[in-house]
Amino acid sequence: MATIQATLRRKKNNAGLYPISIRITKNRKSTYMYTGQYVDEKFWDTIKNKVKKNHPNANRLNNLISAKLAEINKSLLDIESDIKPITRIEEIRKTIKNKDKNHSFYSFAEAYFEELEKNKKYSRINCERPLLNRIKGYPRAKTLTFQEITPLFLRGFISHLRSSKASVGERSIVNTLIFIRTLHNRASQQGLVSKDSYPFGNHDGKIKIRIPKSIKIGLTSEEIKTLEELDLSDNPKQHHTRNVFLFSFYLAGMRVSDVVQMKWENVQGERIYYTMNKNQKNISLKIHDKLRKILEEYLPIKSSQSDYIFPELREANDNAKDILRVSKTANKRLNRYLAQIADKAEITKKITMHVSRHSFGNISGDRIPLQVLQKLYNHSDIKTTIDYQQNFINKDLDDALDSVIGL
């Protein structure tokens, strides 16, 4: 079996830079595949065989190297699995060079996930890995290169997802297209595919990604009050679930991942300080009297400041991957009990943990200035707040209908 390794060849160009290449060795003979990228010798890590972090484009160059290694390794496996495998190093290089004209989308995707893994972006992996599996499920994409991802291919793929057999929702389809677009852009930045082959855009028959507007329905203040006053003393699990839901609501619709990861050390006097998991932004919110009562219920089982307030994550291993796994399981369980609570409260709306966020938006309506809501939601751009809050501001439409129908 041939071996491969990234290396810096000692043949500098006119600018004094050295080419990054992939060395292929078999039977003690070597050949080289060039990446088309050059760096100063001082930026090359001879131990790790990669570009050093202090290079301004280190991440991109190392991603390119990873993708090239994965692509060449796949070609080598194909060569070795042939009935009559090629043994001469010159023929191996020639074969790989011909194969390398079309870069594998799947190999590039795996290199992308490896990068996310190294950066501990487990939540993103968890969201995007199913998208890659969805693409692999398309009969015309058993093997897939970037060159094969044309507007025609994507239209067929979209039709496949919309078919009764696949039964994929519009938002899920859009998410999959965005994933393909993300990888295509990265491959283009790394020089693996031509920008001319870019299948997305607003012209020339290209694919335009339109993000569908979802309907956001929150509870009213009367429905929140009904939940608060509902007698759940006969069911501890439902009582606990209501506490978690209201805890989220009282903190401007805090996301469930942040709620279950809340620790006693986040409680400082009359405020809660925490960092949002989604965007790593810091926020501080007042502890309302209603919220204080919920906290007091869990004080008896507190043993230290580093304890989780709620029990969902107490059995999780102390690493980000396991915390994510247990958080997702906890969210499903809480949503199941919320459905039971909704039945008891005779609330016909579907209630999930995320509905606490919609409920806060619905009740605040246009009563709270957008700049204040932006801080509460911790949105980077006020346009995001405006788009979100428009789901819950209906007074002008209601007044318009009343002015006509009321006659």
pLDDT band, residue 113 (cuts 50/70/90): very high
Q: In the predicted model, what is the mean pLDDT of residues 354-368?
A: 87
- Domain membership of residue 397 (yes or no) is no
pTM for the full predicted model = 0.66
Co-location of 74 and 37 in the same domain: yes
Of 303, 295, 287, 293, the closest CA to residue 251 belongs to: 287
Co-location of 110 and 94 in the same domain: no
Lowest mean pLDDT, pick from 60-69, 237-246, 342-351, 374-383? 374-383
- Domain membership of residue 314 (yes or no) is yes
Co-location of 109 and 89 in the same domain: no
Co-location of 242 and 352 in the same domain: yes
Supply the mean pLDDT for the chain.
Answer: 87
Q: In the predicted model, what is the mean pLDDT of residues 162-183?
A: 88
Q: In the predicted model, what is the mean pLDDT of residues 257-286?
A: 89
Co-location of 67 and 12 in the same domain: yes
Co-location of 93 and 121 in the same domain: no
- Domain membership of residue 206 (yes or no) is no
Co-location of 133 and 149 in the same domain: yes
pLDDT score, position 7: 93
- Domain membership of residue 389 (yes or no) is no
- Domain membership of residue 403 (yes or no) is no
Co-location of 60 and 184 in the same domain: no
The residue from 74, 99, 124 where one domain ends is 99
pLDDT score, position 90: 67
- Domain membership of residue 92 (yes or no) is yes
pLDDT score, position 268: 92
- Please count the other Cβ atoms lying within 10 Å of the Cβ belonging to residue 15: 7
pLDDT band, residue 398 (cuts 50/70/90): confident
Co-location of 81 and 183 in the same domain: no
Co-location of 231 and 331 in the same domain: yes
Q: What share of the chain in percent tops pLDDT 90? A: 47
* CATH number of the domain that residue 314 is part of: 1.10.443.10
The residue from 99, 134, 151 where one domain ends is 99
pLDDT score, position 89: 66
Q: In the predicted model, what is the mean pLDDT of residues 379-388?
A: 80
How many domains are there within the chain?
Answer: 3
Domain span including residue 162: 105-197
Lowest mean pLDDT, pick from 263-267, 339-343, 364-368, 396-400? 396-400
pLDDT score, position 183: 95
- Domain membership of residue 382 (yes or no) is no
Lowest mean pLDDT, pick from 10-19, 26-35, 273-282, 397-406? 397-406
- Domain membership of residue 156 (yes or no) is yes
Contacts of 5 by beta carbon, 8 Å cutoff, 6+ apart: 22, 23, 25, 49
The residue from 182, 197, 212 where one domain ends is 197
Co-location of 118 and 25 in the same domain: no
Co-location of 235 and 336 in the same domain: yes
pLDDT band, residue 85 (cuts 50/70/90): low
262 has pLDDT over 90? yes
100 has pLDDT over 50? no
